Structure 1
Amino acid sequence: MPDVIVAPEVRDLTTLSRQLTAWLGAQLPEAQDIRLENLAYPFGAGQSHETILFDASWTARGRPEALGCVVRIKPGRHTVFPDDFFEEQYRVMRVMHDGGRVRVARPLWFEPDPSILGAPFFLMEKCRGRVAVSVPPYAQAGWVAEATPAQRAKMWENGVRQLAAIQHTPLSAVQFLRGPDGAREGLPQEWDKYVRFVAWLSRDRPWPVLEAGLKRLADRWPAHQPAGVVWGDARLGNMMFNDQFEVVAVMDWEQPSLGGALHDLAWWLFLSNMMHGEAPGRPHLEGMGTRGETLALWREVTGVPTDDIEWYEDFTALKISCLSIRTAGLKGLPPPDEQALARRLKLV
């Protein structure tokens, strides 16, 4: 199966090279003969942001320098989410990188001026490794499907340990993630985001199935609401691994919040089940930890109980439903079947 470029929009990379070369000259005043090479979009991932890889080289004080880079550009027309956390994702990556527990690409520069590339952007250091892509699904083809059970077991454990490590981030270091009045942090913040997401989708057409899903969740409000940072898209496909199946980067921080510790865990469980779950008819990847094993390891690393996790998984189902409606519209595809959504949201 051929590699597939997945991006909200693409641009001429020769023009981008000239623009970034000039911009880098201002960031590196001692650099001479700046050259950008190997500009390319990543394959199989990156639906929400335009992301381009490249290698930069230059001379400084008579010595050659080189740096692999990634530029991530703020989306314009093709916005997946109603909330804009573009600068916040850069800032939270810097907190994670500086903290040392969570492996993220080293943030380099943030550029708020939209006149350079047509939108704000930031640069981070390129990490070397492999990604479990969604196109084609990693459980069906590619290096994950071809790995041995022992290799997949190592990948799963390292992935869950990194997922759990996020919850060791001091909340005092990420107060810039506080939400609006009445939903500053905790479950109210994450809940408010998706109540507004449903309202945003409903501007084009009503979605009573989503409203019913919200009501079902509100009627079963969880007692257990541990504090914590939300990564926002917690899945194996947003981690990069080296050849030893160790995590080298946790990626895609575009929807962070102070919403609580269990949201990412629930998202991870839900997406893992979709890709290679324990239900009949789904691809089975021997070596990948079960739901119970994932819960146990996450509790061991975080020290946080997982009571009421089923509610958070049901909330994830609503979040995924919102995303499936929005991404179908962006791609010009028919909207998801409402009966299928109702089954996902446990309304039938």
Structure 2
Amino acid sequence: MSDVIVAPETRDLDDLAGRLEHWLSGRLPGATGITVNNLAYPRGAGQSHETVLFDAHWSEGGRVHAQGCVVRIKPKSFTVFPDNLFDEQHAIMKLMSDEGTVRVAKPLWFEEDPSILGNAFFVMEKKRGRVPVSIPPYAREGWLHDASPEQRRVVWRSAVEQLAAIQRVPVEKAPFLAGKGAAQRGLAQEWDKYQRFTAWLEEVAPQPVLRDALARLEAAWPAHDPEGIVWGDARIGNMMFGDDFRVVAVMDWEQPSLGGALHDLAWFCTLSETMHGRSSSHGAYLDGMGTRAETIALWEDVSGKSAAGLEWYEEFTHFKMTCTGVRLGQLRGTPMMDEAAMRRRLKVA
């Protein structure tokens, strides 16, 4: 497997270890012998936040403690999204951890002081497991590619059950995710976000294709808009799986909202087809992973919500992904796709 690291920025890990040790001494005032080691960037994932794995060790109250940790640092210059939702990312993970319905890494500490690591950050527990990474594509090589169809079936079912479990957490428990004005929740909130995303991209260059796509989507506005919390990047590549092929943790909550139940399902179905479906752009179909119809049926059963009208949300997913692709192209100075390809993808003339 490739050792490619995809990260917005990297730093000297020895220096980071020293800073974290000093910081932990303030968070653990009764501890002695604090050490931080085994620092590493996750392999094959992570494009918007600097994320570093580490292990912490200390003694306290006559006992030796060891804690696997992950530090996630708020981005400064490499900003993929227009909305700063770093605090909300931590808050939704804490809510999910406290609720116990969705398996997430438990947040341990949040630090607002930017002088320590250059920006705000939070530390969460490190889970043990395997992730279907995007680089290299998991459908072409790696543990999921090498698994049996029966094992992949367990992966799929566990993933969809966790995806649907998010919808069992009441939106009233996440008021910190509300938008502003008339876009406080529901489709209006997600729509407002991506209208602003488009305007943000236009600060660099005009986006006529995105404008045409917005108009097309608005003209076909869906009637079905069930309430629900949005995870934001719903795919198995943002899930960690144990040796039993079941979900250990749902990760990367960097763009959450109260935008409605169908956004995550649409994103999940779209990415599943792209990454490992029968029409995979990676040219690799993984037998055992559920079909779109099976995914929708299981999601409806577990969530208790209807997926009627999902097709519109899948079209909106393509729009969202294109916005992100355009932004990454701006950051890297290399367009992710040409205008003709964008028009075909977004079905605009």
Name the TM tier (shorter chain): over 0.9
Whole-Å Cα distance in 2 between the matches of residues 334 and 100 of structure 1? 41
1:30 shift after superposition: 0.6
**Cα deviation, residue 262, structure 1:** 0.1
User: Using the alignment, how far apart are the partners of 1:279 and 1:120 within structure 2?
Assistant: 41
SS in 1 for 2:295: helix
User: Cα distance, 1:303 vs. partner?
Assistant: 1.3
How far apart in 2 are the matches of 1:52 and 1:173?
A: 29
Measure, in 1, the Cα distance between the counterparts of 2:90 and 2:294: 32
Separation in 1, partners of 2:335, 2:233: 24
Shift in Å, 1:280: 7.3
Q: Is the Cα–Cα contact under 8 Å of residues 273 and 280 in structure 2 kept in the other structure?
A: no
2:308 counterpart of 1:310 = no
| Equivalent-residue separation in structure 1 for 2:71 and 2:325 (angstroms) | 26
Contact 2:274 2:280 in 1 (8 A): no
Seq. identity, %: 59
- 1:79-228 maps to which residues of 2 (within 5 A)? 79-228=79-228
| Equivalent residue, structure 1, for 2:36 | 36
Structure 2 residue identity aligned to 1:306: A
How far residue 278 of structure 1 moved from its aligned partner, in angstroms, is: 2.4
Shift of 1:332: 2.8
Give how far 1:335 is off.
Answer: 4.1
Q: CA deviation at 1:182?
A: 1.7
SS of 2:33's equivalent in the other structure is: strand
SS at match of 1:130: coil
* Matching residue's letter, 2:301: E
Partner of 2:334: 333
Corresponding residue SS for 2:221? coil
Matched, 1:291 2:292: yes
Partner of 1:2: 2
How many equivalent residue pairs?
Answer: 348
Counterpart code for 1:334: P
What is the DSSP-based 3-state SS (H/G/I as helix, E as strand, rest coil) of the residue aligned with 1:144? helix
In 2: Cα distance, 1:270 partner to 1:344 partner: 12
1:59 alignment partner in structure 2: 59
Could you list the per-position Cα deviations for residues 272-316 of structure 1 after superposition, in whole angstroms to 9, with x for gaps in the alignment? Answer: 111122227631100000000000000010111111100000000
Letter in 2 for 1:328: G
Structure 1: gaps (5+ residues): none
Q: Which amino acid aligns with 1:329?
A: Q
Residue 49 of structure 1 is matched in structure 2 by: 49
Q: Deviation per CA, 1:104-128, whole angstroms, max 9, x where unpaired?
A: 0010011011111000000000000
CA RMSD of aligned residues (A): 1.0
Aligned-residue offset at 1:320: 0.4
Give the aligned residue type for 1:321.
T
Q: State how far apart, in whole Å, the 1-side matches of 2:335 and 2:192 are.
A: 27
Shift of 1:170: 1.4
Q: Distance in 1 between matches of 2:270 and 2:223?
A: 21
Once the two structures are TM-superposed, the CA of residue 4 in structure 1 deviates from its matched residue by 1.1
- Rounded to whole Å, the distance in 1 between the matches of 2:109 and 2:336 is 38
Structure-2 separation of matches of 1:53 and 1:339: 41
SS of 1:59 mapped into structure 2:
strand
**Residues 155-213 of structure 1, C-alpha deviations (whole Å, 9 max, x = no match):** 00000000000000111210110001120110000000000000100111111000000
Deviation at 1:329, TM superposition (A): 2.1
* 2:348 partner SS: coil
4+ residue segments displaced more than 6 Å: none
